[in-house]
Structure 1
Amino acid sequence: MPKVETGRFAAAVLPVTAQTIRTDGMGLEAGPVSIPVDGFQMPAYRAAPAGGRNLPVVLVACEIFGLHEHIADVCRRLARQGYLAIAPGLFARHGDAGAYTDIPRLIAEVVGKAADEQVNADLDATVAWAGTQGGDTGRLGITGFCWGGRTAWSYAAHSAAVKAAVAWYGPVARSYHAGDATVIERAARIQAPVLGLYGAADGGIPVDTLAQLEAALKAAGNTACEFVVYPDTPHAFFADYRPSYRKPQADDGWARCLAWLRRNGVA
């Protein structure tokens, strides 16, 4: 079973860039954990203020590259804001996403096997585990990137416990697993406020699909969602370890993410 290795980046993204952000764990309880899900021990990464109790909980959904150091660092950043942040290994049943260098193979052999039903059940188990580890699951948020951005939308449609979600450049008009509905098709089930952060120059997520989702949400009575589309900005603009990183947009998006969680009861 794949393990969480602190400091390890996914093979597909090496070498990482010099601008990579590294958040230390001083004053935090941070590191790999194991979460039981129907007899399966799912690897995860957890970060929280040391000794913290009754902490608001934020789930962190990974990119297609799995649970690697960038996602762990996001958890530590959230912990420094007072959250119990947990990134579950949602691909762990299917292989080690971090070991792949060929992205089409990675999607076909690992990512595409993680159906929404399994992912949502894994996230439900993560929430239950958080409640035994000093987390206040009545203040539950989720954020995610790329595949994880779509997962943030999907989990908001699945779980009424979600108070707020932040989706970073998650596709809304396509799914990764055959048979899974798109976010647009699930719009009527999304009741939580979701903030969508996107780049206008993202070739894989046409801006018109975001307009379609916004219209579907409003038609279903959800007027609490917001979209921010940054001009001339590519996919993965938050990924500081990759050349796609755009610091001004990433910093603005992070500030919006934190404000959105707090404004909507995850604080």
Structure 2
Amino acid sequence: MCYDDNARPPLPPGQGGSARGEDIVLTSADGTRFAAYAAQPDQPLGAQVIIYPDVRGLHQFYKELALRFAEVGIQAVAIDYFGRTAGLTARDDSFEYMPHVQQLQLPGIFADVKAAQDYLYGTPAGKKATFLVGFCLGGTLSFLSGTQQDFGFAGVIGFYAGMSRNMGGEGTLLDRAAQIKYPLLGLFGGADQGIPNEQVQEFEQKLKQSGIPNEVISYPGAPHSFFDRRATDYAEASSDAWNRVLRFISAHAQNV
């Protein structure tokens, strides 16, 4: 498990503006209804984000993260993965997520993110540069979604993206790194026991060989899930991560 019910995203840098958020239900192309959380800035900028949660799906950490993005002017929608197998039930600590994780298929994920993208494009803010931001399983899915040309993303961002999960038998993230089509920002904990530094280095090397614009950062001594307001020992790493995410979005939003 990446974040429990008490985890909260760190605050972004600077003075945040006002924003509002709401629980919504989206419908995928195959008719699946799934939960999402939308956050609207009062003063929107030129970018939007779709948030991929960790293995537990859409829980409070990601709703608050969507609000934090909106407070700095970036419209956000966080999505749940499990509409096909768990419906619209709650994703608190009592949710038995692993049976549902094991049933995830990439075509369903891609259909759901397309529904989220269509939702963003249909809001009053309209069509803007769209980025994916994912955590843990969501980081892996962010990068795998980046292999799909049709989305037209401005960039893909992943925190602690696992390298060895073979999603749907189509290969691991390391296997498919060279297929990523969009600028990429990868953020890792240097002391993350589940993602060896050797894998992170191999991932970065494959991105460089393919020519994908990328920035891969590993924070020495930081564990998995270091990006948490409670993790005061890693506050500096969290602050740097926020700054890198916002700079990445600002830089690549202009290229779309």
Q: 1:20 to 1:29 in 2, by over 3 A?
A: closer
CA distance in 1, matches of 2:232, 2:175: 29
- Matched-pair contact (CA < 8 Å) for 1:55–1:136: no
- How far the C-alpha of 1:97 sits from its partner, in A, is 7.0
Q: 1:40 to 1:54 in 2, by over 3 A?
A: farther
CA distance in 2, matches of 1:231, 1:214: 16
The residue number in structure 2 matching 1:253 is 241
- Matched-pair contact (CA < 8 Å) for 1:97–1:106: no
The residue number in structure 2 matching 1:30 is 21
How do residues 18-97 of structure 1 correspond to structure 2 at under 5 angstroms? 27-38=18-29, 39-50=31-42, 56-95=47-86, 96=89
Of 116, 120, 125, 1:130 maps to: 120
CA distance in 2, matches of 1:199, 1:36: 35
Cα deviations across residues 76-117 of structure 1 (Å, max 9, x unaligned)?
A: 010011111001112232225724548xx532x111212122
Q: 1:111 to 1:266 in 2, by over 3 A?
A: farther
Cα deviations across residues 196-225 of structure 1 (Å, max 9, x unaligned)?
A: 100111011011111211222222222x11
Q: Work out the number of aligned pairs and report it.
A: 247
CA distance in 2, matches of 1:240, 1:136: 32
Query: What is the Cα-based RMSD across aligned positions, in Å?
Result: 2.8
- Matched-pair contact (CA < 8 Å) for 2:147–2:179: yes
The residue number in structure 2 matching 1:98 is 91
Q: 1:86 to 1:218 in 2, by over 3 A?
A: same
How do residues 1-267 of structure 1 correspond to structure 2 at under 5 angstroms? 13-14=4-5, 16=6, 27-38=18-29, 39-50=31-42, 56-95=47-86, 96=89, 98-99=91-92, 101=94, 106-107=97-98, 109-159=99-149, 160-175=151-166, 177-222=167-212, 224-240=213-229, 246-265=234-253
CA distance in 1, matches of 2:223, 2:118: 36
- Matched-pair contact (CA < 8 Å) for 2:185–2:214: yes
- How far the C-alpha of 1:124 sits from its partner, in A, is 1.0
CA distance in 2, matches of 1:172, 1:266: 30
Q: 1:170 to 1:245 in 2, by over 3 A?
A: farther
Q: 1:94 to 1:156 in 2, by over 3 A?
A: same
